[in-house]
Amino acid sequence: MEEQIYYRPLWTCGRFNAKESVAIYYNLIDGMAYFFEDMSASIIGLILALPRNGSISVSKLSDVSNISENSIVPFMESLAEIGLLTSHFCTEEIVNEYRTKTKHSHTNSNSSTYTATKEDSAVELNDAELAYKERVGGVVGVMFELTYNCSEKCIHCYNIGATRNDEETSHRDIKDKLSLNDYIRIIDELYDEGVVKVCLSGGDPFSNKYVWNILDYLYSKDIAVDIFTNGQSIVGKEKLIADYFPRIVGLSLYSGVAIEHDNITRVKGSWNKTISVIDSLAALSVPMVLKCCVMLPNVKSYNTVTNVAKQYGLYVQYELNVTDSIDGDKCVSHYLRLNPELLEIVLRDPNTAVYVGNEVTLWGGMDINMDENTCRAGYNTFCITPNGDLIPCCAFHLHFGNLKLHHLRDILTDNPILEKWQHLKMSDYKECGTHEYCSFCSLCAGINYSEHGTPTKAAENNCYLAKVRHKLAQKMKYEQYDPLEGKSLQERLKELPTISVGRLQREFSQKEETY
């Protein structure tokens, strides 16, 4: 009888925890993660011990694991069916064949949209990652803000030092940035703490000269990688990206209309470049999500991003709570945020995570547990700034310590700021959760912190969206109000007047710094 041999594909990565007898295993071309426990986790651990393209026989697995071949064979066959094993050595031809197969399944999928509560939120954990986190704990996911520099100049950017017009001086480039040796050490320390997934963001991560070295090292460490980019600096380098098998690439696209996108990025031709990257990555079956902030300049055409997503079989993520700058600039909420009338129209778009309507539970609201913290950033997921500050997430700059100066384990141990945050409950917030409209709030503690210097005081930006959503739900429920006026969303948006916001300029307010 011929020996059954299986190979670990190039497009896989994962972790096995022997103490808890659990494993997480990624199919990176599919963008999927799978959780295993007990004996199946032990088998996954043996597979992950192989180098990529390494092979192992069923008999060898049986000998090492003390599990019968009759039990192992169907398990191995099931892994092969979902692309976690292959019966062939992965040549480039085999990889391309699998990419093509996956591309067709993506294109034919009925699911063409994806929504999440916050754009660029702290590293979001999927079901498999959550299951792994519950058993193992530690640091599961991290976002690296590799730089605040960027090849675009988006008028709504919340990063430190971003400009609002071409006459302002950019202060994106910061001092004391992490070196490549710093990144290598920090990644090693994160690995020791149990990390399974890293997101590379910015600014634009490809504005950091070390980004390719960092990608290479993360791939060698078997860590899954997400990339958030505008795509401008990777035109012609899409195959290089694909060969690192990112779990997902998030690309910023603000309209299906080129000029409206370019007016937001303030870079002529940026739409064409981003679309060309989307086209190339889609041809390589790289999982993608299109990310779009909805604001006054693109409110008429934002939903055309859905058309682009459908064309390529991609996900789209709309963000309605455009937020002010981390460094205190209030320009965005003052001049770019949708007024209540416009916001009500967009809230009727089922492709947004903050949709209001009788088709969803509580018309889009949710129950609030005052005995827990609704924000889970800074527990098992963190963000690391370009100079090495460890913070809860990219939107929440509460500093726990600096990784250029201290080791990760030292920062995580006996840290009063971290402990205070992790023990915070909704009942400790000064106002959040106490009003009827709070059930319609996608609470962002980071926005609270940016506005007031404390995560526990309600930010006007958070409350504004919650109040409009709550009022809309009440009007629709009790007054039969329809912001679409009986028309389709597309028809309603099309008849809106063209909105020009004019020249923007940064403006600051004083934080209270009470936390």
Q: With helix as H, strand as E and coil as C, how does 504-515 read?
A: CCCCECCCCCCC
Sheet with 22-27: list strands edge to edge: 12-17, 22-27, 32-37
Mapped onto helix, strand or coil, the DSSP state of residue 216 is helix
CA dist 346 and 331 (Å) reads: 22
**Bridging pattern class, strands 288-293 and 315-319:** parallel
pLDDT given for residue 515 in this prediction: 65
Least Cα distance to 332 among 210, 153, 158 occurs for 158
Task: Give how far Cα 325 sits from Cα of 21, 365, 441, Å.
Answer: 43, 27, 20
Query: What predicted TM-score, i.e. pTM, was given to this entire model?
Result: 0.94
pLDDT given for residue 95 in this prediction: 95
**Bridging pattern class, strands 381-384 and 141-145:** parallel
CA dist 205 and 149 (Å) reads: 8
Secondary structure percentages of the chain, helix, strand, coil, to 5? 40, 15, 50
CA dist 449 and 254 (Å) reads: 27
Give the rounded distance of the alpha carbon of 168 from its chain centre. Answer: 30
Q: To which residue do tokens 């012609």 refer?
A: 236
pLDDT given for residue 502 in this prediction: 86
Paired residues of 225 in beta bridges: 198
pLDDT given for residue 508 in this prediction: 81
Mapped onto helix, strand or coil, the DSSP state of residue 207 is helix
**Bridging pattern class, strands 141-145 and 55-57:** unpaired
pLDDT given for residue 316 in this prediction: 93
Q: To which residue do tokens 């590379």 refer?
A: 200
Q: Give the DSSP H or E segment for 5.
A: strand 5-7
Q: To which residue do tokens 């651990």 refer?
A: 45
456 near 426, Cβ under 8 Å? no
CA dist 240 and 178 (Å) reads: 24
484 near 492, Cβ under 8 Å? yes
The one-letter code for the residue type at 9 is P
> What's the DSSP call for residue 86?
B
What lies within 8 Å, CB to CB, of 500 at 6+ separation is: 297
Tokens (6 digits) for 422:
């992790």
Residues of the chain short of pLDDT 50, as ranges, are 108-122
CA angle 392–394–398, rounded 5-degree value = 45
Least Cα distance to 330 among 460, 443, 201 occurs for 460
Q: Which long-range contacts (CB under 8 A, 24 or more apart) does 213-222 make?
A: 213/180, 213/183, 214/144, 214/146, 214/180, 214/183, 214/187, 215/244, 216/244, 217/183, 217/184, 217/187, 218/187, 218/244, 219/13, 219/244, 219/245, 221/187, 221/188, 221/191, 222/13, 222/14, 222/15, 222/48
Sheet with 197-201: list strands edge to edge: 315-319, 288-293, 248-252, 224-229, 197-201, 141-145, 381-384, 389-391, 401-402
Per residue in 213-224, is it b (16+ CB within 10 Å) or e — as a string? Answer: ebbebbbebbbb
Q: Where are the alpha helices (DSSP H) in 137-288?
A: 180-192, 211-220, 238-242, 258-265, 270-283
CA dist 3 and 57 (Å) reads: 7
> What's the DSSP call for residue 131?
H
Sign (positive or negative) of CA dihedral 422, 428, 430, 436: positive
pLDDT given for residue 513 in this prediction: 58
